[in-house]
Amino acid sequence: MLKKLIVFILLIAGTGTLCAQTRYTLSGYVREKGTHELLPGVNIYVPSLRNGTVTNNYGFYSLSLPEGTCEVIFSYIGYQTVSYQIVFDQNRDLEVNLSGSIALSEVTITAEEITRNSENSQMSMVVLPVQQIKNIPAFLGEKDVFKALQLMPGVQKGSEGSSGLYVRGGGPDQNLIILDDAPVYNASHLFGFFSIFNGDALKSIELTKGGFPARFGGRLSSVVEMTMKDGNKTKLSGEAGIGLISSRLLLEGPIIKEKASFIVSARRTYIDALIRPMMPRDEKFGYYFYDLNAKVNYDFGRKDKLYLSGYFGRDKFSIVDRGNYYDEFNQNQYSTEAGLYWQNATSTIRWNHLFNNKVFANTSAIFSRYNLTIYDKEKDNSGTYSLKYYSGIRDFALKYDLEYHATPTYTLRTGIQTTQHRFTPSAVVEKDSQTLENFDQKTIYDSFESGLYAENQFNFGGKAQLNAGFRLSHFAVDGEYYLAPEPRMSFNFILSKGFSAKAAYAEMNQYIHLLSNTGIGLPTDLWVPSTTRVKPQNSRQLSAGLARDLNNPGLSVTLEGYYKWSKNILGYKPGASFLLIDDPSEARNFTWQDNVTAGKSLSYGAELLIHKKTGRFSGWIGYTLSWTKLKFDEINFGEYFWAKYDRRHDLSVVAIYEINPRVTLSGTWVYGTGNAITLPQADFPVLINNPIENLLGEHFSGYYYYPQSVTDYGRVNSYRIKAYHRLDLSVQFHKQMKRWERTWEFGLYNAYSRKNPFFYFIDETYTEYGSRSTLKQVSIFPIIPSVSYNIKF
C-alpha cells in the first residue's frame, strides 16, 4: 500500500514538472509596511487560475505561473489587501509591503481575497490573530495566548484558571509548544494560572490539532507554533502596560536601518515588591515571576537572513525566617531560608538561505532548558542543614528545513532535526552538620531524538489539494533504540466555490513524558524519557470535515469529526505520587518507572467553529462534542474509564465589537461539562487471609482477620463535578495622544460570579454523638474586576 502511494506521489510530481515548461516564477518576501516585519501566512491568490500559496514562517513565497498577464492578490487578516497586474515573461522578484496594524474594521476586502479556509488542505488548524487575543477579556487583564486558544473547539482547559491545553482528549504534556523553533517545556507561570506567553512579542500563533504536517513530530495531540516578531526595521517603537499584577514593556527598533533590528519584551509581577516593605524584618516571603523575550536579526539581502532569538522566564517563591529561641539556659538564634524557583530558557539561531527563487532553506540551532530548584538552608546553634533539589530537562538541537516550490501544482518540503535531551528527574544534595549525614545523588538520562521528513503538497487544478507526507522518527536512550514510521496525509476536495470537504490521517510518536500529580501544571511535574521499560506513546488520528467560506467577508464555518486512538499512554498506578515538594529528600528513593503503567486511550468527537476574523463585529462560536476514555491494566482493574477532562459539551462564544475607533467592547462565555473525578462513596472493612494460619491451625493474634477499613471509590472517574460556565466582559477605551496611543481597559472576570468548581473535598464535622461527612466544593475566582493601562508608541 505504501509503495503504491509513493509511486502515485512521484507520478503526480513528475506530471506537474513536465507541464511546467512555459512557466515563470514569482517569488519574494511579504512585509508589514512601516516596520518591515516579515509576515507569515499571507495568502497569495491568482483568481484567474484559482491557484495560490501562502508565505512561509519567514515571509517568503514562491509561485510558478504561466506566461501572460495575471492578477495576483496579497491578503492577510488585519492588513490592507493589495493586488498587482503582472506580466509574466520572465522570472520575477516581487517584494510586497502590506499596510500593517490597521484596525480590523477598516479592512475592506471581498470574499475572493481573504484567506480561504476551504482552499487549504490543512485541517484541524487554528490561526489566532494576535490582535484578536488582545481584544478579548482576560483574567486580571493579563492577555494570555493559551487562554485564548482554550476558547477554540477541540481545546479545553483543565481546572479553573489553568493555562494548560487539553487537545482532543490529550494531556498538556502532549502538546508540542514551539517558540521560534525551540520547544518550551513548562509554559506556566504562577502554578498554571498564567501562561508564559504574553502576546506582545509574538507575530503569529498557530495551533494544529490533527492532520499534522510531517514537519512536526514528537508529541501526540497538538502543535502550538509561535513566532516572535523580528523588530521594527525603520524606527524605534514600543508598547507598555500596567496591570493589577504585572507590568510589561516592549521595545523594538532598527540597529542598522533596513538591515538589522531588535525587539525586547519584558513582563514582571510586583506583588512581592509591594508587600515586602510591610512585612516584619525577620519574616519575609515573596513570590514573583518575570519573562523576557529578545530577538535580533540581520538581513544580508534577498538571499540570506540571520535571526537570534531567546526567551527567559522565571517564577520564584521564597521564605526567610530569622529569630530567637530559648532553651533551658540560653537565648539562641535561628534562621531559615527556603524556596523554590522554576525557569524556562530557550534560544534559537536561524539562518534563512534562498538558493534560487524556488528553493528556500532554513537552518536552526536550538537550545531549550527547563528546571526546578527547591532549596532549604537552616541554621541554629546546634548546626546547619542544607538541602538542594533540582530537576529539569535540557535540549540542544539542530534542524534543517528545505522548501522546493517545483511547479504551481507541486511543492516539496523536507528536512531533518536531531535533539540531544538531558533529563535530570532528580538531583539532591543534602548536608547536615549535626548528623554528618551528607547525601549527593543525581539521576541523569541522556537521549537523542531525531526526525526525517518529507511533505509533498499537490494542487489538482484548483479542485483538490493533497499533502502527502512521511516522517521517520528515532529515539535512542541507554542502548535502547526506537524507530517509527509516521505516515501523514491531508486532503481537500472543493465541492463548490468556498465549500470543501477535508480528510486527514496522522500517526505520531512521543518519546518524552511528563509525570504530574495534580494535572494543574505544578512546577514539580517531571519530564522523563522513554526507556527500555517505558515505551514511546503512540497515536493515530483520523479526521474529516467540511469547510465553508461564506460570502460575508472573513466568516468561515468548519465542522470536523475526529477519531484518535493512542497506545502506551502513560498512567499512574494506584497510589503513585511524584510530588517531591513535601520532602525533596524523598527523591533519593524515587523510582518513577515503578509508579507508571502503560495503557491506551480512545478519543472521538465533533467540533464546530464559526469564526469571523474581520469587521467591526468579530469573534467566534466554538462547540465541541467529545468523548475520551482510558484503559490501563493496572488502573480501574483493567476496565475503560472516562478521562478526568472528558468533556461531553464544551462551548465558547467570543464577541468583539468596535463601537467606534475609540471604544471596543468584548465578551466571552464558556460552558463545559464537569470533570470526571473519583469520589469516595463509603467506608468498608477489608480482611486479609493468611494461609499459614489455617495450615498450622493457629490463631495469630492481631493479624488474622485484622480489620482495616478502606474507601469505596466506585469506578475510577465515575462522578461528574458541576458544569463550568463563566462570562467575562471588557471594555477598552483607545485614544490617540500626541506621541502615543493609550488604551484603558476595564474587565470583569466571571461577571455573574458563578461558583465554578476548582476541587471537591470531604469535610468531616464532629459532634458528641459522632461525625458527619459532607461534600464541599471550593471555588477560587468569584467576580474579579481588573483594570489596565496600555500605551503604544
Which 517-546 positions form the footprint of other proteins (CB under 8 A)? 517-518
Number of residues located near other proteins, criterion CB under 8 A: 76
Q: Which of 686, 737, 738, 739: binder of other proteins (CB under 8 A)?
A: 686
Task: Report the alpha-carbon distance of residue 741 to residue 793 in Å, rounded.
Answer: 6
Distance (Å) of CA 154 to CA 169, 639, 669: 8, 25, 16
- Which residues, 482 to 521, sit near other proteins by CB under 8 A? 517-518
- Which residues, 570 to 609, sit near other proteins by CB under 8 A? 572-577, 579
Under 8 Å between Cβ of 525 and 516? yes
- Which residues, 465 to 484, sit near other proteins by CB under 8 A? none
Binding mask 139-158 for other proteins (x = CB under 8 A): -x------------------
Map residue 8 onto helix, strand or coil: helix
Task: Report the alpha-carbon distance of residue 727 to residue 653 in Å, rounded.
Answer: 9
- Which residues, 278 to 317, sit near other proteins by CB under 8 A? 278
Q: Which of 701, 737, 738, 739: binder of other proteins (CB under 8 A)?
A: 701
Task: Report the alpha-carbon distance of residue 221 to residue 170 in Å, rounded.
Answer: 5
Shortest gap between Cβ of 190 and other proteins (angstroms)? 11
Q: Which of 687, 737, 738, 739: binder of other proteins (CB under 8 A)?
A: 687
Counting contacts by CB under 8 A, is residue 680 touching other proteins? yes
Concatenate the DSSP letters of all residues of 185-202 into one string.
Answer: S--EEGGGTEES--STTE
> Which residues have C-beta within 8 Å of that of residue 692, sequence separation ≥ 6?
none
Nearer CB in complex with other proteins: 180/525: 525
Concatenate the DSSP letters of all residues of 412-447 into one string.
Answer: EEEEEEEEEEEEEEEEEEEEETTT---EEEEEEEEE
Distance, C-alpha 505 to centroid of its chain: 21
Under 8 Å between Cβ of 487 and 549? no
Nearer CB in complex with other proteins: 108/681: 681
Map residue 236 onto helix, strand or coil: coil
Q: Which of 707, 737, 738, 739: binder of other proteins (CB under 8 A)?
A: 707
Counting contacts by CB under 8 A, is residue 711 touching other proteins? yes
Interacting span for other proteins (CB under 8 A) from 143-151, 200-208, 416-424, 778-786: 778-786
Q: Which of 695, 737, 738, 739: binder of other proteins (CB under 8 A)?
A: 695
Q: Which of 69, 433, 694, 736: binder of other proteins (CB under 8 A)?
A: 694
- Which residues, 224 to 263, sit near other proteins by CB under 8 A? 244-245
Shortest gap between Cβ of 641 and other proteins (angstroms)? 11
Nearer CB in complex with other proteins: 332/577: 577
Interacting span for other proteins (CB under 8 A) from 428-436, 467-475, 607-615, 676-684: 676-684
Counting contacts by CB under 8 A, is residue 719 touching other proteins? yes
Shortest gap between Cβ of 607 and other proteins (angstroms)? 30
Nearer CB in complex with other proteins: 22/767: 767
Under 8 Å between Cβ of 135 and 664? yes
Spell out where 573-681 has E strands: 596-612, 617-632, 641-642, 649-660, 663-672, 676-677
Interacting span for other proteins (CB under 8 A) from 18-26, 119-127, 268-276, 406-414: 268-276
Interacting span for other proteins (CB under 8 A) from 72-80, 538-546, 707-715, 729-737: 707-715
Q: Which of 688, 736, 741, 793: binder of other proteins (CB under 8 A)?
A: 688
- Which residues, 751 to 770, sit near other proteins by CB under 8 A? 755, 760, 762, 766, 769-770
Shortest gap between Cβ of 700 and other proteins (angstroms)? 5
User: For 194, left (φ over 0), alpha (ψ -120 to 50), or beta?
Assistant: beta
Nearer CB in complex with other proteins: 277/479: 277
Q: Torsion over CA of 193, 196, 202 and 205, rounded to 10 degrees? A: -60
- Which residues, 29 to 88, sit near other proteins by CB under 8 A? none
> Which residues have C-beta within 8 Å of that of residue 597, sequence separation ≥ 6?
570, 571, 572, 573, 632, 633, 634, 635
Nearest CA-CA partner of 410 in 5, 15, 23, 4:
15
Counting contacts by CB under 8 A, is residue 2 touching other proteins? no
Nearer CB in complex with other proteins: 21/589: 589
DSSP letter at 221?
S
Task: Report the alpha-carbon distance of residue 472 to residue 468 in Å, rounded.
Answer: 14
Nearer CB in complex with other proteins: 103/682: 682
Nearer CB in complex with other proteins: 162/614: 162
Interacting span for other proteins (CB under 8 A) from 198-206, 612-620, 716-724, 727-735: 716-724
Nearer CB in complex with other proteins: 301/697: 697
- Which residues, 334 to 393, sit near other proteins by CB under 8 A? none
Shortest gap between Cβ of 49 and other proteins (angstroms)? 56
Q: Which of 101, 333, 434, 690: binder of other proteins (CB under 8 A)?
A: 690
CB 624: neighbour CB atoms within 10 A?
Answer: 23
Shortest gap between Cβ of 446 and other proteins (angstroms)? 26
Nearer CB in complex with other proteins: 438/577: 577
Residue labelled with grid coordinates 543534602: 430
> Which residues have C-beta within 8 Å of that of residue 555, sequence separation ≥ 6?
549, 610, 611, 612
Shortest gap between Cβ of 684 and other proteins (angstroms)? 4
Nearer CB in complex with other proteins: 305/644: 644
Task: Report the alpha-carbon distance of residue 619 to residue 613 in Å, rounded.
Answer: 6
User: For 234, left (φ over 0), alpha (ψ -120 to 50), or beta?
Assistant: alpha
- Which residues, 626 to 645, sit near other proteins by CB under 8 A? 635-637
Q: Which grid cell is 209?
A: 490539532
- Which residues, 111 to 140, sit near other proteins by CB under 8 A? 140
Nearer CB in complex with other proteins: 11/692: 692
Burial class (CB in 10 A: 0-12, 13-18, 19+), 242: middle
For residue 659, the number of C-alpha atoms closer than 13 Å in the C-beta half-sphere is: 10
Map residue 353 onto helix, strand or coil: strand
Nearer CB in complex with other proteins: 240/579: 579
Interacting span for other proteins (CB under 8 A) from 303-311, 438-446, 585-593, 680-688: 680-688
Nearer CB in complex with other proteins: 355/761: 761
Q: Which grid cell is 623?
A: 462547540
Map residue 5 onto helix, strand or coil: helix
Counting contacts by CB under 8 A, is residue 175 touching other proteins? no
Q: Which grid cell is 647?
A: 468533556
CA end-to-end distance (rounded Å), the chain: 58
DSSP letter at 165?
-
Q: Torsion over CA of 686, 688, 693 and 695, rounded to 10 degrees? A: 110
Phi, psi of 165 (to 5 degrees): -110, 130
Nearer CB in complex with other proteins: 301/575: 575
